[in-house]
Structure 1
Amino acid sequence: MTTTELSLPPALTQVQLHDAFWSPRLEANRAHTLPTLHRKLVEVGALDAFDLPAYAERGLTIPKTHHVTPQMWWDSDVAKWIEAASASLVTHPDAALDAQIDDTIARMVRAQQQDGYLNTYFTAIEPERKLTNERDWHELYNAGHLIEAAVTHHRSTGKTSLLDVVERYVRFLSGVYGTGEGQRPGYPGHEEIELALLRLYHATGRREHLDFARYFLNQRGQTPNYFETEALARGDDPQEFWAGTYEYMQAHVPVREQSQVVGHAVRAMYLYAAMADLAAADGDPQLRTACERLWNDLTRHSLYVTGGLGPSASNEGMTRPYDLPNDTAYAETCAAVGLAFWARRMAALTGEGRYADVMERALYNNVLSGVSLGGDHFLYENPLESDGTHRRWAWHACPCCPPNVARLLASLGEYVYAVSAREVTVNLYAGSTLQAEVGGRALTLTQEGMYPWRGDIHLSMTLDAPATFTVRLRIPAWAQGATLNVNGEAVAVTPQQGYAVVTREWSAGDTIDLMLPLVPRRTYAHPAVRQDAGLVALEYGPLVYCVEGLDQRADLHALSLPRDSALDARFDPDLLGGVTVIEGAAVIDTAATADLYSGSPPTTRPALLRAIPYAVWDNREPTPMRVWLRERVG
């Protein structure tokens, strides 16, 4: 597939979702998450913080009514809220929400300095330290989120108010950073601006944004390492770097030489997403190869079954291959969001369904776990085992995850399909309507079904005239025995790069029926994953399942599932908003004696195992939870 044939996500305005699974989540995001985020940003002072730079720039004393000390990352949280709220306006016009966005942007306009710089913390609190520590601080990271918010706001509303702000900011930054005379050869410690600049390039067509993104990516990890030069310039000893290694921010070697996913997981995902974008934009085979190499390392050695990544809290990221603890899993929500970003770009870059498979895994499991069904409580870490004390919170000192999930859910329509001049690719199965020009004709493609609870998917077409083009339908790796009909006639399913491919002349009224077999299935970890030795996980379609103590009435570590136990799936409309549960005969160990240790093995009693989707755990009262279950053999 050449770069001119890449299938790209449709615009938000081209996709309408009306899906039984996703619509309640999207409505909770719109009706509850967005207002909750705005209210919390007001309460902590993150919005008022944008008023402070105006006082500082004019040399005025901050009024006593402003008892706000901005955090270094607050600007990014506000930007992500703008992005999510702007995307929501596409499907649900809301004058009050639009006014809130406009008010926030007006504050940003007033906060921006004459030279284009915009950062509440370093303008109002420590202006003398501006742009002196990109290794540890978040100026370029914040700038990246402001850019992404501006792109989505412009595309959603047609307004340029925030786009004008970030264009000025980027002009300032591109004067500071670069390889020219008087410039600093620097780049961010926390990646984000790279993928943001690529989005800005695609939105505006201005090649200077592409060039700036390319500079940041090419400069990363070069020798001498910029972070050492920067540390010396501010009078610090580079050897006293608190993280101990530049692997923490993926700056240990140039990006095209990287082969293992290391360091902070969110930073890594943002970096790799940008690398995939740039590989597509430049047709860069070395960058593509690096992305594929890193992808293989992650999915073969370090990805949780839930689509989470980053087992360690100490670095919010990676440790070593096959180290996947369950009860202490960090698996940050933002990292799963970032994985979805990267996976979507890799699917577009390569045309391979395996990337969309992982995108789906992350979306249906680790991403959704990060927000409650009600949309107003959140998880930062997403363990695969809990004693019942790990609960969702209403807010966090570093609330990066809630607005990250919010912006992803609000833009979910961009993940369902991909479109080129001659192809329509269906990456996710969700009730929706796509409007696009394909094969030179206006196409309306309507998708219906009850996925992931049922595997029968129906697509119908409306065309203004017959047209010849290709429809690519992802066949998940787990969907053995999938069947396909076009206009009621069977078509052989012989996946090409993970997709069933149908090329023909299509006409109005044509239909496609895809059946993906949905049955409970057992999943086993690689033997090198010591934490999962002797354990089994349950899956159903794209969903990973867990057991909660509320349903078992026993200690979950005493529960075991016989390998030959039959598993049944049934839909329970009254449980957790309506979910399919998996049930089967299980066994519970009970003590043979009252002694702490005994020479007698435990006795057993039969029990009914009842598993629910991991995405909806911790939506009832506090209770233990496990994804990986003991398996009884023989």
Structure 2
Amino acid sequence: MVTANSFVSMKQVNIDDSFWGQYTQLVRDVVVPYQWEAINDRVEGAEKSHAVQNFKIAAGLAEGEFYGFVFQDTDVAKWLEAVGYLLMKQPNPELEAIADEMIDIIEKAQQPDGYLNTYFTIKAPEDKWKNLTEAHELYTAGHMIEAAVAYYEATGKTKLLDIVCRFADHIAEVFGDGPDQLPGYDGHQEIELALVKLYHATGNEKYLNLSKYFIDMRGTNNFFEEEAEKRGWTSIWHKNRIHIDKKYFQVHKPVREQAEAVGHAVRVVYMLSGMIDIARETNDETLLNASRTLWNNIVGKQMYITGGIGSMVHGEAFSVDYDLPNDTVYAETCASIGLIFSAQRMLQLEPHAHYADVMERALYNTVISGMALDGKHFFYVNPLEVFPSQCHGHNHNYNHIKPVRPEWYGCACCPPNLARLLSSLGDYLYSVNNDTIYSHLFIGGKTQVELNGNSIELTQVSELPWQGKVLYEVSVDAPVSFGLAVRIPGWSDHASIYVNGEEIELSGLMKDGYAVIHREWKNGDKVELKLDMSIKRMKSHPKIRANAGKVALQRGPIVYCIEEADNGGNLQHVRLPKNAELKLAFNDELAGGVVTIEADGLIEEASDWSDELYAANAELQQKPKKLTFIPYYTWANRGEGEMMVWVKE
């Protein structure tokens, strides 16, 4: 049986955390307002968006041509979704009025049959539903559905929800096994998980069944080839004949038979999220097993230490197991966000700390690395090694690597994805399974939980990521019995736990990586968790060729790197001796104050090297070098320079 493990809604969670509070406030005060300006083309120097203007043209409110990618509408949708999450936590009449005005424009842009997509409305109305392989029609619909559900849950307003219900009803008419329907699915997964959200919001099982249809059909036929044949094998991206790589689109096998992550990384984790949703909703054990297999391949053989996934620029894709280059890596921000979506859903199926560990790894490293500390510059790609001279068009293999974060992108999927994740962070902290409350992430604040008719307030005070202390306090009107399951993270070599000041033996409490304390709780009871925060010299699997002879430093959930701003250039010649003492320090100027790591290292210098490119008897001299390691997420906030996560030992 599939486990019923429900996450506590962000509506019941108020984050008050010294680390994450600055991010939630940054999203509210800076990121969402800035992104509204960006999608309205009012950020000087940033790449053109035209996303809002496309909707105005489709609505008949402006004249002009469609501009941007075929999925440009999703920038507006993800922005609206982030707004919905912000409004759930704090009223903002001005922001709500802006969103309502945008929704009015979207309503006018919707076609009478429910269809909604500005690219096809403005540019190619005769091509609707003719190129599912490339055109992102259902992907774009999915993001608007997610926005509508979030906005409805925040405000109670139904206009956008009604819009997407009409669109979903239209989709249900277009797709299916009937004589006049399309027996297919989208080239970019997203609609599957969105329809499950719509089902939860409306109670209409048609949307759940439609999601299941897309999951079940994927990879079972030659839909992409058959529709390509009908339109003469044309491509939406170029004038040449379309090339269909089934693995790139994850249609090479039915989803229940896919044992390895292949193809476009974001597509894989969005598909996995939809698979897990359907497994949970329909109690489908075969789909659960397939989801678990695919998950294990991703995190066991194809994930970077930073929680990044997708190792190659060609196709923004997975390559093969253990192929994890550091300098040409893709590791798209959206892919790690999708990995977090999948991790949360796996926790709903089976509350195991392994999933929360991955969620935490991606969140503290790749995800927040994707945004500058000012909230106005963003990474699409998150490398683990950067030499800026390679990244300025001199070597085209590195064209995708940016040594500093740009203000915006023509293909701006990552910035609004970051905004919607960070504004909904409260959705990822706690879940309830029968009579047990699970604490998955160490993020401070207050949480209201209803458990078996009892109202429980849980206050968490977390000193992470800099100190390994977490305190929980229980507030109840009367004594109540339940279990409190506290994650013991994989990065902690040892932990101790105390209830009202008395230490409890962990060995008798552990279940699937959680310390589960069952007792009758009284008002004011406290649980204190102390975690080992020693610095770890991390090694990678021997099959990962890029990291042979190298080490990375990690402390708690934070992965560290060396940067030119602290260590000078030529980082490829840096050595960290095996016996070097690793000392903690504090930099109060970087990112509002961070814990750094210092060590006495070495650097190889070629002071006596001649002008010859190769020499038989030349030697590099090793000289002492003070090394400073900073949290990976903070790199590229002090100008352009070299950076390296994995250092030669």
Match of 2:100 among 99, 102, 115: 102
Q: Secondary structure at the match of 2:314?
A: coil
Mapped pair 1:524 → 2:539: yes
Counterpart position of 2:223: 226
Cα distance in 1 for residues equivalent to 2:434 and 2:299 = 31
Q: Which moved more, 1:400-409 or 1:35-44?
A: 35-44
Partner secondary structure for residue 418 of structure 1: strand
- Shift of the 70–628 alpha-carbon distance from structure 1 to 2, 3 Å rule, reads closer
Residues in 2 aligned to 1:304 and 1:292: alpha-carbon distance in whole angstroms: 19
Q: Residues 515-561 of structure 1, C-alpha deviation per residue, up to 9 Å, x if partnerless?
A: 11111111111111111111110001111111101101242111110
Q: Measure, in 2, the Cα distance between the counterparts of 1:594 and 1:244.
A: 51
CA-CA distance at 1:279 after TM superposition: 0.8
For each residue in 1:70-95, what CA deviation from the matched residue of structure 2 results, as whole angstroms up to 9, or x when unmatched?
53111111000000111112223211
The 3-state SS of whatever aligns with 2:506 is: coil
- The 5 A counterparts of 1:60-75 are 64=63, 66=64, 68-75=66-73
Q: Residue 195 of structure 1 contacts residue 270 of structure 1 at CA under 8 Å; is this kept in 2?
A: yes
Amino acid aligned to 2:513: G
Partner of 2:394: none
Amino acid at match of 1:407: R
Distance (whole Å) between structure 2 residues aligned to residue 357 and residue 25 of structure 1 = 20
What per-residue deviation string (whole Å, max 9, x for no partner) do you get for residues 233-282 of structure 1? 212289x8745421111111100010000000000010001111111111
Q: Secondary structure of the equivalent of 2:466?
A: coil
Q: Which residue of 2 aligns with 1:153?
A: 151
Residue in structure 2 matched with residue 601 of structure 1 by the alignment? 619
Which residue is 2:46 aligned to? none
Q: 1:580, 1:182 → 2: CA distance?
A: 62
When structure 1 is superposed on structure 2, of 166-175 and 6-15 the one drifting more is 6-15
Structure 1 partner of 2:358 = 358
**Matching residue of 2:307:** 307
Counterpart in the other structure of 1:480: 493
What CA distance in whole angstroms lies between the structure 2 residues aligned with 1:498 and 1:282? 27
Q: Any residues of structure 2 matched to 1:191-230 within 5 Å, and which? A: 191-223=189-221, 225-230=222-227
- Equivalent pair of 2:59/2:105 in contact (CA under 8 Å): no
Per-residue deviation, 1:227: 0.6
Alpha-carbon distance, 1:215 to partner: 0.3
Q: 1:116 matched to which residue of 2?
A: 114
**5 Å matches for 1:317-466?**
317-388=317-388, 389=391, 390-466=403-479
Letter of the structure 1 residue corresponding to residue 506 of structure 2:
V
1-structure distance, mates of 2:180, 2:309: 40
Aligned-partner SS, 1:146: helix
Amino acid at match of 1:229: E
User: In the alignment, is the contact (CA less than 8 A) between 2:187 and 2:249 conserved in 1?
Assistant: yes
1:112-164 C-alpha deviation (Å, 9 max, x unpaired):
11111011110111100011000011110000000000111111111111111
State which of 50, 54, 61 in structure 2 corresponds to 1:49.
54
Instruction: Tell whether 2:136 aligns with 1:138.
Output: yes
1:590 offset after TM fit, Å?
A: 1.1
1:491 equivalent in alignment to 2:485: no
Secondary structure of 1:246's counterpart equals coil
1:592 deviates by 5.0
Asked if the contact 1:459–1:512 (Cα under 8 Å) also holds between the matched residues in 2, the reply is: yes
**Secondary structure in 1 matching 2:626:** strand
CA distance in 2 between counterparts of 1:418 and 1:151 reads 20
Distance 1:40 1:237, change over 3 A: closer
Alpha-carbon distance in structure 1 between the residues aligned to 2:243 and 2:66 = 29
- Given that 1:7 and 1:419 are in contact with CA atoms closer than 8 Å, whether structure 2 keeps it comes out as yes
Deviation at 1:467, TM superposition (A): 1.3
Letter in 1 for 2:647: L
Tell me if the contact between 2:569 and 2:642 (Cα under 8 Å) persists in the aligned partners: no
- Give the whole-Å Cα distance in 1 for the aligned partners of 2:196 and 2:241: 30
Query: Residue 81 of structure 2 corresponds to which residue in structure 1?
Result: 83
Structure 1 segments, 4+ long, off by >6 Å, are: none
- State how far apart, in whole Å, the 2-side matches of 1:175 and 1:553 are: 61
Provide the residue aligned with 1:500 in structure 2.
Answer: 515
Are the counterparts in 2 of residues 378 and 394 from structure 1 also a CA contact under 8 Å? yes
Query: 2-side partners of 1:570 and 1:292: how far apart?
Result: 40
Could you tell me which residue of structure 1 aligns to residue 561 of structure 2? 546
2:181 paired residue number: 183
- SS of residue paired to 2:263: coil
Q: Distance in 2 between matches of 1:95 and 1:279?
A: 39
Tell me if the contact between 2:471 and 2:529 (Cα under 8 Å) persists in the aligned partners: yes
Cα pair distance change 1:83/1:365, threshold 3 Å: same
Q: Report what 1:59 is aligned to.
A: none
- Listed as ranges, the gaps of 5+ residues in structure 1 are 56-61
- Contact 1:570–1:580, Cα closer than 8 Å, also in 2: yes
Residue by residue over 1:268-299, the C-alpha shift from the partner in whole angstroms, topping out at 9 and shown as x without a partner, is: 01000111111111111111111111111112
SS in structure 1 of the partner of residue 59 of structure 2 = helix
Q: What is the CA distance between 1:323 and its match in structure 2?
A: 0.9
How many residues are matched? 620
Alignment-derived partner of residue 599 in structure 2: 584
| Structure 1 residues 129 and 463: alpha-carbon distance in aligned structure 2, compared to 1, 3 A threshold | same
Query: In 2, distance between residues paired with 1:381 and 1:25?
Result: 20
- Deviation of 1:34 (Å): 0.6
Distance 1:70 1:587, change over 3 A: closer
Q: Is the contact between residue 500 and residue 527 of structure 2 (CA under 8 Å) also seen in structure 1? A: yes
Instruction: Provide closer, same or farther for how the CA distance between residues 573 and 237 of structure 1 changes in structure 2, counting only shifts above 3 A.
Output: closer
Q: What residue number does 2:271 align with?
A: 271
- CA deviation after TM superposition for structure 1 residue 600, in Å: 3.4
Identity fraction in percent: 42
Cα deviation code 1:485-513 (max 9, x no counterpart): 11111112233111111111111111100
Residue type of the alignment partner of 2:225: E
Pair 1:122–1:95, CA change in 2 (3 A): same
Contact 2:563 2:643 in 1 (8 A): yes
TM-score (norm. length: structure 2): 0.93
Partner of 1:572: 587
C-alpha displacement at 1:21, in angstroms?
A: 0.8
User: How far apart are the structure 1 equivalents of 2:217 and 2:637?
Assistant: 45
Equivalent pair of 2:75/2:412 in contact (CA under 8 Å): yes
* Alpha-carbon distance in structure 2 between the residues aligned to 1:69 and 1:212: 31
Coordinate RMSD, CA, aligned:
1.5
Q: Which residue of 1 aligns with 2:642?
A: 624
> Relative to structure 1, is the Cα distance of residues 503 and 83 closer, same or farther in structure 2, using a 3 angstrom cutoff?
same
Mapped to 2, the partners of 1:396 and 1:70 lie a distance apart of 11
Residues 1:284 and 2:284 are matched in the alignment:
yes
Offset, 1:403: 0.2
Equivalent-residue separation in structure 2 for 1:510 and 1:26 (angstroms)? 29
- Report the secondary structure of 1:562's partner residue: coil
Say whether 1:258 aligns with 2:255: no
Q: Which runs of no fewer than 5 residues in structure 2 stay unpaired?
A: 42-48, 392-402
Secondary structure of the equivalent of 2:367?
A: helix
